């Protein structure tokens, strides 16, 4: 009976996912990037900005006007004019520069979205693996206490134990059952999130083998090429381009026009001209900017915007660097604890389990003592899983902060 009980407990410690295929972290990230709506929209935005760049040299509409009346004398004359207003050539080049910087910003925004997708998929990937491993441990504990409650009830009926002992184990079993239910609810939420991130018809589950995949060394790269920091620098370039554009608007506009009109009556050359005789003229004008108008305020505001984006970038740079250094230090500490756990705790767990199983089968210890031994090993396993979870979270953060 005791041997049969141990076999049942061991068999209950394995959970198999039937309806979902396992997928590696790399393939999960590739699938998420390929099917992510935000990334795809960013690609469309890049195309949009690329087309919009052609609008940098947009020229205002030409003006065609017709005059009729006593323009030159008491006689009724007609005048047909065509005029075109141009901004100073520098303004067009500055507009083009601004549109180019905005196009570059859309490219960086796509890289930011991809980096965030990688980080999110990695976090969810390992969270699911941790929760499923905890589920296995809680299921084993639930099975142990279920059997002990059954035995306790039998002993209570025979008068070999009291109601207090029986109630204690009922409470312990209920507590584990509640933990298991909360864990499964959380696991279901993360599994749904994982499926939405991959955005595929088929269902996939994280490959369980990758949970123990620990890389003791990571190459530390230059963080200034991180998409978030490149986005910050690009915001500075956009602000500078806007400032240069506003400054260029102080340059004078150019106006060119031609007209064809009649001048009835005696002209300056003492010749009588009829309405059928037409005369041509050319007009050239230049705009005079107002130095104390709204444009001055726009220039000052855009100059302030440059200073703001530069300050924000410096703060962001320091924040990313500090976060990276903190993650590296904490990860090294967790790695040391994991190494110590494998060197010291793993052998202890195996010895305790083997000894408890052998002594229980031989009758040297009671079921309660065997249960306490199993619970102690489960507690150590949970602590190890928490270390693994922290390790993967910190590793994902370091990898994310060093993306190029």
Share of the chain above pLDDT 90, in %: 37
Across residues 183-208, what is the average pLDDT? 89
For the stretch 363-389, pLDDT in tens is 677 666 777 777 788 888 888 889 889
CB within 8 Å of 13: residues ≥ 6 apart: 136, 137, 139, 140
Across residues 326-350, what is the average pLDDT? 85
Distance CA 152, CA 163 (A): 9
Confidence of residue 185 (pLDDT cuts 50, 70, 90): very high
Strands 265-266 and 272-273, by their bridges, are antiparallel
Q: Please state which CATH class domain 2-401 belongs to.
A: mainly alpha
Three-state secondary structure of 351-394: HHHHHHHHHHHHCCCCHHHHHHHHHHHHHHHHHHHHHHHHHHHH
Report yes or no: 325 and 398 within 8 Å, Cβ to Cβ: no
pLDDT of 357 higher than 80: no
User: Is residue 254 classed as helix, strand or coil in its secondary structure?
Assistant: strand
- Residue with the bigger pLDDT between 178 and 164: it is 178
Across residues 344-357, what is the average pLDDT? 78
Report pLDDT for 155.
Answer: 60
Strands 265-266 and 77-86, by their bridges, are unpaired
- Average per-residue pLDDT in the chain? 83
Distance CA 247, CA 252 (A): 11
Q: What are the boundaries of each domain within the chain?
A: 2-401
Distance CA 56, CA 59 (A): 9
1, 17, 291, 372, 403 from 121: Cα distances, Å: 46, 20, 54, 38, 15
User: Is residue 61 classed as helix, strand or coil in its secondary structure?
Assistant: coil
For the stretch 49-95, pLDDT in tens is 999 888 888 888 899 999 998 888 888 888 999 999 998 889 999 99
For the stretch 204-260, pLDDT in tens is 888 887 777 777 667 777 788 899 999 999 999 999 999 999 998 888 899 999 999
16, 33, 117, 130, 191 from 203: Cα distances, Å: 14, 17, 18, 19, 10
What tokens were used for 141?
A: 């504990």
Partners of 67 in beta bridges: 79
Confidence of residue 15 (pLDDT cuts 50, 70, 90): very low
- Residue with the bigger pLDDT between 304 and 203: it is 304
pLDDT of 5 higher than 50: no
Confidence of residue 4 (pLDDT cuts 50, 70, 90): very low
Report pLDDT for 249.
Answer: 87
Confidence of residue 148 (pLDDT cuts 50, 70, 90): low
What tokens were used for 79?
A: 């005048």
Report pLDDT for 3.
Answer: 47
Confidence of residue 169 (pLDDT cuts 50, 70, 90): low
**DSSP H stretches of helix in 20-88:** 25-35, 37-52
Report pLDDT for 2.
Answer: 46
Report pLDDT for 290.
Answer: 77
User: Is residue 181 classed as helix, strand or coil in its secondary structure?
Assistant: helix
For the stretch 286-297, pLDDT in tens is 988 877 778 888
pLDDT of 282 higher than 90: yes
Share of the chain above pLDDT 70, in %: 86
pLDDT of 132 higher than 60: yes
Q: Which of 1, 15, 2, 12 is nearest to 141 (CA)?
A: 12
Q: Please give the model's pTM, rounded to 2 decimal places.
A: 0.79
What tokens were used for 259?
A: 């007209």
pLDDT of 13 higher than 70: no
């Amino acid at each position: 009976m005791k041997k049969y009980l141990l076999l049942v407990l061991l068999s209950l410690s394995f959970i198999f996912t039937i309806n979902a295929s396992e997928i590696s972290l790399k393939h999960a990230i590739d699938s998420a990037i390929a099917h992510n709506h935000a990334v795809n929209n960013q690609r469309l935005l890049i195309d949009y900005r690329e087309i919009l760049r052609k609008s940098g040299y947009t020229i205002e509409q030409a003006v065609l006007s017709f005059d009729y009346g006593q323009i030159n004398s008491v006689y009724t004359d007609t005048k047909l004019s065509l005029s075109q207003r141009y901004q100073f050539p520098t303004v067009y080049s500055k507009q083009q520069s601004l549109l180019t910087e905005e196009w570059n910003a859309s490219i960086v925004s796509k890289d930011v979205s991809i980096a965030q997708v990688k980080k999110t998929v990695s976090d969810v990937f390992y969270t699911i693996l941790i929760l499923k491993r905890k589920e296995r441990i809680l299921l084993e504990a639930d099975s142990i206490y279920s059997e002990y409650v059954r035995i306790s009830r039998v002993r209570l009926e025979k008068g070999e134990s009291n109601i207090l002992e029986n109630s204690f184990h009922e409470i312990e079993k209920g507590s584990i059952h509640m933990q298991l239910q909360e864990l499964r609810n959380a696991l279901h939420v993360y599994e749904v999130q994982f499926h939405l991130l991959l955005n595929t018809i088929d269902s996939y589950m994280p490959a369980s083998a990758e949970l123990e995949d620990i890389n003791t060394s990571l190459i530390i790269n230059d963080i200034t090429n991180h998409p978030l920091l490149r986005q910050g620098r690009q915001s500075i370039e956009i602000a500078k381009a806007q400032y240069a554009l506003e400054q260029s608007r102080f340059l004078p506009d150019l106006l060119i026009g031609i007209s064809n009109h009649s001048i009835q009556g005696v002209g300056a050359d003492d010749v009588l001209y009829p309405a059928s005789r037409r005369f041509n003229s050319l007009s050239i004008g230049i705009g005079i900017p107002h130095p104390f108008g709204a444009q001055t305020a726009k220039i000052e505001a855009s100059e302030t915007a440059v200073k703001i984006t530069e300050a924000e970038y410096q703060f962001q740079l320091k924040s990313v660097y500090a976060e990276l250094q903190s993650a590296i230090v904490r990860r090294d500490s967790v790695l040391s604890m994991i190494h110590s756990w494998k060197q010291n705790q793993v052998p202890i767990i195996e010895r305790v389990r083997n000894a408890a199983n052998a002594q229980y089968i031989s009758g040297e210890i009671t079921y309660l003592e065997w249960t306490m031994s199993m619970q102690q090993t489960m507690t150590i396993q949970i602590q190890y899983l928490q270390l693994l979870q922290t390790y993967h979270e910190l590793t994902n953060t370091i990898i994310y902060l060093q993306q190029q």
